[in-house]
Amino acid sequence: MAVPSGSVYLDNLVVETGMIMEASLNEVHRFWSPVLERHFYTINESEKETLTTQFKDVWTYEGVVYHAFATNTDPDTRPVYRFWSAKLSSHFYTVNESEKDWLIAEYAHVWTFEGVAFYAYPPGGQPIGALPVYRFWSPTKNAHFYTVSESERKNLLTNFSSLWTDEGIAWYAIE
């Protein structure tokens, strides 16, 4: 909702010129596949329904992990790009434009560019209260893992550091 001038009062919220973004946030769903030993993330409700109804023998729904934008509603967000690798049976997500371009140019034989998965805040461009989405890589599993959970992150760093490498903050999302 745009408020070009004046004031809007919504419950206990007052906006004086600006944008209210919360209404355009969408749920990001996380799935786990014990068959593939991979996680999958989607904002797409159709993909969610397909996995929970037609592929429930392969994918276990883990719930909503955070919220992101389906479109470029907030000018501070950037696209989170999604890639698929049939070779690795895995998806990869990045907000980094250079990393996206590098994969397309150098690793098209491994990674298929699927487009924008959703929009999130790049490191350094996040609003107050946004949650870091941590990215991990496992050379043993040939897969990435993403989490906003501090307890999951600590568990990987403490108990599985030989299996998972902390690659830092991938992007920021809204709880």
Domain that holds residue 162: 2-173
Whether residue 61 contacts residue 31, with contact meaning beta carbons closer than 8 Å, is answered with: yes
Confidence (pLDDT) at 7: 46
Output the pLDDT for position 24. Answer: 85
The answer to whether 28 and 103 are in contact (CB under 8 A) is: no
Per the structure, how many domains does the chain have? 1
pLDDT score, position 17 = 52
CA distances for 113 relative to 54, 63, 117, 118, 131, angstroms:
24, 25, 11, 14, 26
The reported pTM is 0.86
The pLDDT profile of the chain, 175 residues, written as one tens digit per residue, is 455 555 444 444 445 455 555 558 999 999 999 999 999 999 999 999 999 999 999 999 999 999 999 999 999 999 999 999 999 999 999 999 999 999 999 999 999 999 999 999 999 999 999 999 999 999 999 999 999 999 999 999 999 999 999 999 999 999 9
